[in-house]
Amino acid sequence: MGDIVYLHRVSKRYPGGHDALNDVTLTLEQGEMAFLTGHSGAGKSTLLKLIALIERPSRGQVVVNNQNIAQVRRHQVARYRRNVGVIFQNFNLLNDRTVFDNVALPLVIRGETRDTIARRVRAALDTVGLLDKERQYPMVLSGGEQQRVGIARAIVAKPPLILADEPTGNLDPALSAEIMELFQRFNEVGVSLLIATHDVELIRSMPYREIALQSGQVLDRAAAAPFESGGAS
């Protein structure tokens, strides 16, 4: 199987001159789940933003699903994002919309029919164990439940790739473990996941690759492409 994500010599300099990423090369295999670790400011969020097309690289290539995403024009970004589910630490939910409406949002934007939306939203809520909360508003839910709403929204359109930025950052250890189990279940059905996290204790008990960033660079180059041997160093 090929790569779902390939970064080749990618650098990102934000306006102001700071190098958030510096010459990063890495791959995520189709169907792989991997963790992105590193100190605060190491560049984890920036890396995910480049893949999600929230930011553009200053140098280098980002290839997702065999598409060089430099070629995705501004008006094509929404269509591109259909294939990438993004989960944030602070949940990014709309507090004046119900759980159902929050999860439905990506499908509404796509112009799906009401029947399709209802079916898919309920399937996504069922997956994250929140079917009974569809009429609630996010504010009345616990942190773990709010994060599961965010996850349902990310998976509702069945993207082949999920990016998660500190998805357990605001959760206690038991809830964090639950969220990781959900991710494992998605991975078992073929979804690729790249998950940025500080929670090294939790992830080191799990059998997934860790890609460590330090000051905008991949710490261990071997970890950047573990399935290739004898490649360029």
Ligand X SMILES: Nc1ncnc2c1ncn2[C@@H]1O[C@H](COP(=O)(O)OP(=O)(O)OP(=O)(O)O)[C@@H](O)[C@H]1O
Sign (positive or negative) of CA dihedral 153, 156, 157, 162: positive
Using CB under 6 A, which of 29, 32, 38, 152 touches ligand X?
A: 38
Which parts of 6-25 interact with ligand X (CB under 6 A)?
A: 14, 16, 18, 20
Q: Does 41 bind ligand X (CB under 6 A)?
A: yes
Minimum distance, C-beta of residue 225 to ligand X, in the bound complex (Å): 21
Q: Does 217 bind ligand X (CB under 6 A)?
A: no
Q: Does 44 bind ligand X (CB under 6 A)?
A: yes
Q: Does 42 bind ligand X (CB under 6 A)?
A: yes
Count CB atoms within 10 A of the CB of residue 152.
31
- The angle at the Cα of 165, spanning 66 to 76, to the nearest 5 degrees, equals 40
Using CB under 6 A, which of 46, 146, 147, 192 touches ligand X?
A: 46
* Residue 20, phi then psi, degrees to nearest 5: -80, -35
Which parts of 63-102 interact with ligand X (CB under 6 A)?
A: none
Specify the residue, 121 or 164, whose C-beta has the smaller distance to ligand X: 164
CA–CA separation, 58 vs 18, rounded Å? 11
b (16+ CB within 10 A) / e for 76-104: eeeebbeebbbbbbebebeeeebbbbbbb
Minimum distance, C-beta of residue 10 to ligand X, in the bound complex (Å): 12
225, 26 contact by CB (below 8 A): yes
CA–CA separation, 159 vs 68, rounded Å? 18
Using CB under 6 A, which of 17, 40, 189, 233 touches ligand X?
A: 40
Specify the residue, 112 or 199, whose C-beta has the smaller distance to ligand X: 199
Using CB under 6 A, which of 25, 27, 45, 176 touches ligand X?
A: 45
Sites of contact with ligand X (CB under 6 A)? 14, 16, 18, 20, 38, 40-46
